[in-house]
Amino acid sequence: MNNFIFQCSTKMIFGKGQEHVVGEELKRQGASNVLFVYGGHSIRRTGLYDKVVRSLKDAGIAFTELPGVVPNPRVSLVRKAIEICREKKVDFLLAVGGGSVIDTCKAASYGVFYQGDIWDLISHKVELQGDMQHLPVGDILTLPAAGSEESDSCMISDEELKIKSGFGAPGMRPVFSIMDPELTYTLPVYQTGCGCIDIMSHVMERYFSHTEDTEMEDRMAEAILKTVIDNFEIVLKEPENYGARSEIMLCGTWAQNDMIGSGKEQDWFNHGLEHEISGLYDIAHGAGLAITFPHWMEFCAKDKQCQPKLLQYAERVWGLSPDYLHPEKTISKAAGNLRTAALKAGLPTTLSAANIGTGKFEYIADRMTDGGKKIAGNFHRFTKEDILVLLEAMK
């Protein structure tokens, strides 16, 4: 186990009907003038919008609304949020939605105090010095997937440059997160599937590591993976099963607050690759990961150094009996099980199923390896040529 520092101060307010406390909680946190950020019509359709507005008014919280966040959230809206925060002297950002809405708020919360353009920080043109001044962010989560409700980072797209990039800081974790599993009852099967694949991917990016003596984190990672798998099956049949929706919501948070990654070298190759793909083609993040991760496993199965951990995953997470003489066969079965789960929710598992052609393979491999000069990933260390082979397999 490597040395590490872990601190996650987010106050998790979990359970039925908890969205009603948002006004009181904001008051407790010292907020008086809030920017209320959300996506589109869905929170109006479900009645959540009215509940939030009522709770804010009852608590005497002034607020300005900023709707319009889209999946793969755009820097243009972040800029707009920053502008409003400065103009209206906003003292707190409230995100009501999923990771895209929370990430928009996180980026804006730092941008308010940064004199240049926020894309400088997002794209690492300018690195954060220490933990720079920022506004607090709180959220009401409606989509368990990104884990942004407790994570210390955010991911934003420049829709013109067609690039996704992310930045983070210890102070970026939301101060509170209200998590009512009932708010996820209306999620379509496809979005539920994307969320579950995203959650599993956050776990697997940390799980597949060569750091030794990480038994507790490994077993906790397996705990989250097994729980997502079990409960995903349930919500496919019963979208309003409170217990199953609760499990998935809780897993989404613990998958990404980095507790299970503490003291480990992490990988993040699949996220890097998927961000390139969704930056170019604007597909859902979870859908992109459903394409990349099983293929990545099958690629890594040929690497003798990667086989033991992949076998452990196949056995402990999917309950497969390992074929020790031909580990790649067992690993391929595990990859296949992940693919089957994604297919059940209608997700693509090949690039062509997502209407993505082969035209940008060179571009993607170049960007991931700085034109072939760098290695991508830690678990298996990918050269540019490896990435081209992997992309070919994903066609």
Report the interface residues with its own copies, using CB under 8 A.
1-18, 212-213, 215-216, 219-220, 222-224, 226-227, 230-231, 242-244, 246-247, 250-251, 254, 259, 262-263
CB 279 within 8 A of CB 157: yes
Measured from the CB atom, the residue of 6 and 113 that comes closer to its own copies is 6
CB of residue 263 to its own copies, shortest distance in Å: 7
CB of residue 134 to its own copies, shortest distance in Å: 17
Q: Give every CB contact of residue 134 below 8 A, 6+ residues apart in sequence.
A: 109, 110, 112, 113, 169, 171, 172
Measured from the CB atom, the residue of 76 and 241 that comes closer to its own copies is 241
Measured from the CB atom, the residue of 123 and 227 that comes closer to its own copies is 227
Which pair of structure tokens corresponds to residue 82?
A: 């920053």
Measured from the CB atom, the residue of 264 and 275 that comes closer to its own copies is 264
Which pair of structure tokens corresponds to residue 26?
A: 């904001």
The conformation of residue 211, written as its DSSP 8-state character, comes to -
In Å, the largest CA–CA distance within the chain is 67
CB of residue 301 to its own copies, shortest distance in Å: 25
Phi, psi of 140 (to 5 degrees): -115, 115
What is the phi-psi region of residue 179: left when phi exceeds 0, alpha when psi lies from -120 to 50, beta otherwise? Answer: beta
Instruction: Name the residue among 134, 136, 95 with its Cα closest to residue 10.
Output: 136
Residue type, 33: N
Measured from the CB atom, the residue of 17 and 359 that comes closer to its own copies is 17
> What burial class does residue 388 get, using C-beta atoms within 10 Å of its C-beta: 0-12 exposed, 13-18 middle, 19+ buried?
middle
Give dist(CA 307, CA 328) in Å, integer. 7
Residue type, 338: L
CB of residue 44 to its own copies, shortest distance in Å: 25
Measured from the CB atom, the residue of 154 and 250 that comes closer to its own copies is 250
Measured from the CB atom, the residue of 172 and 224 that comes closer to its own copies is 224
Give dist(CA 194, CA 145) in Å, integer. 7
CB of residue 121 to its own copies, shortest distance in Å: 24
CB of residue 149 to its own copies, shortest distance in Å: 12
Question: C-alpha 374: how far from its chain's center?
Answer: 25
Positive/negative CA dihedral, 262, 296, 149, 222:
negative
CB 257 within 8 A of CB 150: yes
Give dist(CA 168, CA 186) in Å, integer. 31
CB of residue 118 to its own copies, shortest distance in Å: 28
CB of residue 14 to its own copies, shortest distance in Å: 5
Measured from the CB atom, the residue of 87 and 212 that comes closer to its own copies is 212
